[in-house]
Structure formats: C-alpha cells, structure tokens
Chains A and B, each alone.
Chain A
Amino acid sequence: GCRGARVGLPAMETDDTGNRLRFQLELEFVQCLANPNYLNFLAQRGYFKDKSFVNYLKYLLYWKEPEYAKYLKYPQCLHMLELLQYEHFRKELVNAQCAKFIDEQQILHWQHYSRKRMRLQQALAEQQQQNNTSVK
C-alpha cells in the first residue's frame, strides 16, 4: 500500500468533517498510549524506529493543552506521551519486562487513591461510631 494513504477519505482531510474525524481518531490513539502492553506491541513492530512516527508523537503533544486535554478520559496517557519523546524510553519498551513493570506500577498507583479513600472512609466510620456512642 502506498505510504501516505488516508483512511479511505482522501478528499476529506481538508474540510471540517475530515478534521473532526481526525480529531476523534487522534483522541483515541493518544489515549491508547496509556496502555503499556500496546506500547510494547508498537515497539516490537518497530514503529518507534520510524522517524515519521516519532514526529507524529511529537505532534500529538498538543493534547497537553487544556482545551484539548479536557477531552481525555485517561490523562495518564499524556505522561506516557511525554516519556515517549525520549529515544531511550522507546528503545526500552521493546522488552516485555519493561512493559510489565510499567503495567504493575500503573495498577498499583491506580489503586493508591482507592486505598486511601477506603482508609479515610474507615476512619470516618469509626469517628461517627464514637460520636454516636458518646451522644448516647
């Protein structure tokens, strides 16, 4: 296939519908970068060695702007995007252990707030119990 092919919408890149579509696609794609397994997948298939892909990653940094970032469901992807700007990181992602490590850390961090909240809720519950007993 030819390199510069668009997704079957060759004429639409220049008009609004095409741009809106592109917006959605890029929105989805940038959030996919939050998935370390997906990054590993990309690395192993050599996408990170493609210079135009690297340029594309740099282009995607516009999602950091607040007017774009507010559409992100997974804002963590921005951190991954930032890391992906570094060649060293891109090279490391070829290793499955690296991806696994990132995955584990992400999940642990993800749980951090819920754990904190549980502790808070417990403390609150205990306090309420104390108040109830003291009132009585």
Chain B
Amino acid sequence: MNGKFLFAFINKILQHTSFGTNKFHIRYLLAHIILDLPSSCNLGSLSYRLPSEVEELETSFYFKYILELLIQRDGEFQELMKLALDQGKIHHEMQLLEKVVEKRDSDIQQLQKQLKEAEHILATAVYQAKEKLKSIEKARKGAVSSEEIIKYAHRISASNAVCAPLTWVPGDPRRPYPTDLEMRSGLLGQMNNPSTNGVNGHLPGDALAAGRLPDVLAPQYPWQSSDISMNMLPPNHSNDFMLEPPGHNKENEDDVEVMSTDSSSSSSDSD
C-alpha cells in the first residue's frame, strides 16, 4: 500500500468526522489499525533500512502523524468551544434583553390601557359637563319669576279650573273647561254681528251669538281674565287663513271649499 495514499485516506476520514464525543475514539481506532499494518507496506525511500527498523519507523511515523492530527483537531475543537462559549454568553444576554423587552412591552401596554381608561373617564366627564351646561342654559332661558308662577298657580287653581272642588259630586255643573254658559257670556258670545262667519278667529262664536240668544248680562266669569294686561297682543298673522303657511302639509285638500260659507247660515243648534 502506498504511504501517501494512506495519509490522504486518514486525513479524509478525520475531516469528515463530525464534532462529537466519538471523535477521539475513532482516531484511536485508526491509530490502532495503522499500527497493525503489515510490514510488507512499501515506504519508498525507507526500503534500505532493516525490515524490523522499517516497521518501527513506519508505525512511529504514522503514530506521530495521527497524534499531530489529533492535536490539530483538538486545537480546532478548543477554538470552537470558545466560540460556542461566547455564543452561549451572547445568547444568554439576548435572552435577558428579550425579557427586558417583554417587560417594557407589557409596561407600555399597561400604560396604554390606563391611558385609554383615563381618556374614557375624561370624555364621560366632559360630556356630562357639556350636558349640564346645556341644561343650565336651557333653565336660564326659561327662567320664570316666582311671583309669576304663584300668580299663575292662583289663576288656574282658584277657579277650580285644573282641580275639582272638594265638594264636587256628579250633577254639579262645574267642569274643567268653559261651559256653555261661560262661553256665551264671554266676549265671543257677546258678538251679535250676523256677518260673523269666516274663519278669522271669531267663527264658532257666531253659532252661539247668532243674535238668538238673550243678552246675558252674566257676572264676570273669572275665566275672562279681567287682569289681562292691555298691552298684550296676539302675534301678527295674515288675515286670510286660506293661504298656505310655508311648509304646511296638505291634509284635507279635497274638502277645502264651500262649507264654511254655508255652515254659519245653516241651523246652529248649540248642544
């Protein structure tokens, strides 16, 4: 066998050996195999030595060579170990940093949650404050003096207009609305003018005041509000209610016409 070939062969095997625990074992085996090589191995220039000497030389040469390889490999392995150690350290540091990052992330999320909550609470508070302001404004706009309220309360209660008299029994002619008698003795009822048809505010009075009724000099019924401030005026309006007010929705479009001219002259029995 060629010594060169053997050398290359061993090298190749060692190169392909993976970094594992068996590396040394393999090398040991290889060394062992090589040491057992038969002396018939031709070493070229060493052929002039004595056979036994050659054999010794051969084995020591190979042994030395393998040892050197071993040492070389060991050195490489040591370096790799160092590298691995470094990498491990770095990896460990990375893990620590990752933990720190996680913690920071959760801190940020926590803060975000709290911020959202705070925003929500503030928004609610602001909203309620705005509502409060609105209602304050509304109340201020609709402010009524207590004197007015008392006056008004007196007006509607004193005459039993909104609350029945305590002695009321069925058969009592008093009612929560103006009765016939009251209506006739009012201003409307006093209108004796026969041409009171048309719809400008006086009309149903015509039915009552068609001049057929006695001139009732009724006592001043309290509902006529004798204390009306004479400065009070109704809102201005166009005198003709036939005109459509803007935006008025048409309801009885079919029934518009002639009825009212007839109705006042037709019999007007009050009930």
Q: Contact: A74 with B265, CB < 8 Å?
A: no
Q: Contact: B225 with A27, CB < 8 Å?
A: yes
List chain B residues, Cβ under 8 A from A75: 156, 161-162
Q: Contact: B156 with A3, CB < 8 Å?
A: no
Q: Contact: A46 with B248, CB < 8 Å?
A: no
In the bound complex, how far is the Cα of B249 from the Cα of A55, in angstroms? 10
Q: Contact: B178 with A25, CB < 8 Å?
A: no
Q: Contact: B232 with A71, CB < 8 Å?
A: yes
Residue of B nearest to A3 (CB): B198
Interface size bracket, A side = 35 or more
Q: Contact: A74 with B223, CB < 8 Å?
A: yes
For B197-210 the 0/1 string (1 means CB < 8 A from A) is 11111111101000
In the bound complex, how far is the Cα of B201 from the Cα of A47, in angstroms? 12
List chain A residues, Cβ under 8 A from B242: 51-52, 55
* A21 CB to nearest chain B CB (Å): 8
List chain B residues, Cβ under 8 A from A3: 197-199, 260-261
Please pick, from A13, A29, A36, the residue contacting B239 in the complex, using a CB distance under 8 A: A13
Number of interface residues of B (CB under 8 A): 74
Q: Contact: B177 with A76, CB < 8 Å?
A: yes
List chain B residues, Cβ under 8 A from A49: 252, 255, 259
Does A97 lie at the interface of the complex (its beta carbon under 8 Å from any beta carbon of B)? no
List chain B residues, Cβ under 8 A from A29: 188, 201-202, 204-205
Q: Which of B151, B241, B256 has the most CB of A within 10 A?
A: B241
For A1-17 the 0/1 string (1 means CB < 8 A from B) is 11111111000010010
Please pick, from A20, A51, A76, the residue contacting B233 in the complex, using a CB distance under 8 A: A20
Residue of B nearest to A6 (CB): B200
List chain A residues, Cβ under 8 A from B180: 37
Q: Contact: B166 with A53, CB < 8 Å?
A: no
Please pick, from A5, A111, A118, the residue contacting B195 in the complex, using a CB distance under 8 A: A5
For A39-58 the 0/1 string (1 means CB < 8 A from B) is 01110011101111111101
In the bound complex, how far is the Cα of B152 from the Cα of A2, in angstroms? 40
* B24 CB to nearest chain A CB (Å): 107
List chain A residues, Cβ under 8 A from B114: none
In the bound complex, how far is the Cα of B196 from the Cα of A70, in angstroms? 28
